[in-house]
């Protein structure tokens, strides 16, 4: 086992440190996957889930809504239309959250590199914690990928979700390049970053300025009787 880095742990009294340890220990062992089949790699997920490979052994189980989930599996290529929905889903998930890019297409476009319809580098639009390459990766590969994610979480090394807050400007810029300047999501990422103390150097920038200019405040849902 690798030595656990001290600086990754929150400073404070012993009790809170023990609590953090426990928290991280449990977090590594209970991962809820969002049930969203974005691409063709999703066909290898049922075998992973079901009787033969049984990922519940690792404490991983599918959940149906982004609010409940911890892991966003991008199973293969994401078309631009899907990417919009993936962004909405990603921002709705509660942190700490992890993104796993399954299949070669999430790395570099895969065999659809010529295609006008698919996004090529997933890493540009959201921070990815782990890639499982292959077209498509076998269930064993997915399970071993999940295992290494579990190990990373336990060691406190998988903190990529913080990057999204800290470098929001970069990610937003790439999204705007693809979706146009009017792009906005219902989630107030900057507000969340401020609230949870995750504002970094890259949180604000030219792209967030564009966002603040075009952003229309969300209205509360109309109540009708």
Partner 1 sequence: MRAENYQQQSHPPSNQFELNFGPNHPGIEGNYALQVEVEGDVIVKARADGGYLHRGFEKLMEQRLWIQNISLVPRICVPDPSPMEVCYSMAIEEISGIEVPERAQWIRVLQLELSRIAAHLFTFGGHAATTGMYTPMYWGVADRDLILDLFEEFTGGRIYSIYNLPGGVRRELPDGFLDKVSEVIDYIESRLPEYDNLFFRNAVFIKRAKGVGVLTQEKSLEMGVTGPNLRATGLAFDLRRDDPYLVYDKLDFEVVVEEAGDAWARTLVRRQELLQSIRIVRQVVAALPDIGGELRAPIPNPLAWRVPAGESYARVESSKGELAYFVVSNGGEKPWRVHVRGPSAMHAVQVLEELVTGGRVEDVAQTMFSLDACPPEVDR
Partner 2 sequence: MDTQIFTEISLSEILVELLLMPVIAFLVGLVMVLWMRKIGARVQRRIGPPLFQPLYDVVKLFGKKTQVSHGVVHDIGIVMAMGGYIAAETLLPVPGMNGIAVYGGIITLTYLMMIPSLGLALGVGQCANPNGSIGISRALTAMLAYDIPFVIIVFGVAFHHETTNLVEIITQQQQAGIASWGAVQNPLLALAGLATLQGMLGKQPFEIYIAPAEIATGPMVEMSGKYLGGLFVMQAFQLYTAAVLYVSLFLGGGESWFELLAKSFVVVSIPMMIAFVFPRYRTEDLVRLFWKWPVMIGLLGVAFVG
Partner 3 sequence: MNLSQFEAWLADIDHRIAGVEVTASNLNKRRNRVDLPADKLVLFLEAVKGEASFVHLSAISCVDWIDDGEFELVYHLWSYELNQLISAHIRVSRDPGEYQSIYDLYRPAGFFERDIHEMYGLYFHGAPDMEKFILTEWNGIPPMRKEFDSEEFVEQNFSWQEYNPEWLKELVAEGGGVVIPCEEQRFSRSVATDHGIDQQHSNWSGCDVSSKLCRIDSKYRGGD
Using CB under 8 A, list all residues that contact partner 2. 22-23, 26-27, 29-30, 35, 50-52, 54, 56-57, 59, 61, 64-65, 67-68, 70, 92-96, 192, 196, 221
Reading the block at residue 72, the tokens are 């966003």
For the CB of residue 84, give the shortest distance to partner 3 in the complex, in Å. Answer: 7
Tokens for 132, please give them: 């499982």
Residue 181 as a binder of partner 3 (CB under 8 A): the answer is: no
Q: Say how far apart CA 72 and CA 90 lie, in whole Å.
A: 7
| Near partner 3 in 188-217, by CB under 8 A | none
Which position among 3, 14, 15, 114 is part of the footprint of partner 3 (CB under 8 A)? 114
How many other CB atoms sit within 10 Å of the CB of residue 11? Answer: 8
In sequence order, what are the residues at sequence separation of 6 or more whose Cβ sits closer than 8 angstroms to the Cβ of residue 220?
Answer: none
Residue 177 touches partner 3, criterion: CB under 8 A: yes
What is the end-to-end Cα distance of the chain in Å, rounded?
60
Q: Does 208 bind partner 1 (CB under 8 A)?
A: no
What does 10 bind: partner 3, partner 1, partner 2, none (CB cut-off 5 to 8 Å by kind)? none
Q: Binding partner 1 by CB under 8 A: which of 4, 22, 64, 218?
A: 64
Tokens of 68: 């409940």
Binding status of residue 113 toward partner 3 by CB under 8 A? yes
Binding range to partner 1, per CB under 8 A, among 8-16, 75-83, 146-154, 178-186 = 75-83
Which residues 102-161 are close enough to bind partner 1 by CB under 8 A? 111-112, 114-118, 135-136, 138
Rounded distance between C-alpha atoms, residue 15 and residue 116, angstroms: 54
11: which DSSP letter?
Answer: P
Question: Rounded to whole angstroms, how far apart are CA atoms 90 and 14?
Answer: 34
């Amino acid at each position: 086992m690798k030595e656990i880095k001290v600086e990754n742990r929150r400073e404070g009294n012993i009790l809170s440190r023990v609590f953090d340890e426990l928290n991280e220990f449990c977090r590594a062992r209970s991962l809820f996957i969002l049930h969203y089949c974005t691409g063709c790699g999703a066909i290898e997920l049922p075998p992973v889930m079901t009787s033969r490979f049984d990922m519940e052994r690792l404490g991983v189980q599918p959940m149906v809504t982004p609010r409940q989930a911890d892991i966003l599996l991008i199973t293969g290529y994401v078309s631009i239309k899907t990417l919009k929905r993936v962004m909405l889903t990603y921002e709705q998930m509660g942190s700490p959250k992890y993104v796993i890019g399954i299949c070669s297409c999430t790395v570099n476009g895969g065999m659809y590199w010529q295609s006008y319809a698919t996004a090529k580098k997933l890493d540009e639009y959201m921070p990815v914690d782990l890639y499982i390459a292959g077209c498509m990766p076998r269930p064993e590969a997915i399970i071993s990928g999940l295992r290494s994610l579990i190990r990373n979480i336990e060691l406190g090394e998988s903190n990529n979700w913080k990057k999204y807050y800290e470098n929001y400007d970069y990610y937003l810029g790439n999204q705007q390049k693809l979706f146009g300047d009017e792009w906005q999501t219902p989630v107030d990422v900057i507000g969340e970053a401020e609230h949870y103390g995750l504002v970094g150097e890259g949180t604000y920038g030219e792209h967030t300025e564009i966002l603040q200019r075009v952003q229309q405040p969300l209205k509360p849902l109309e109540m009708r009787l």
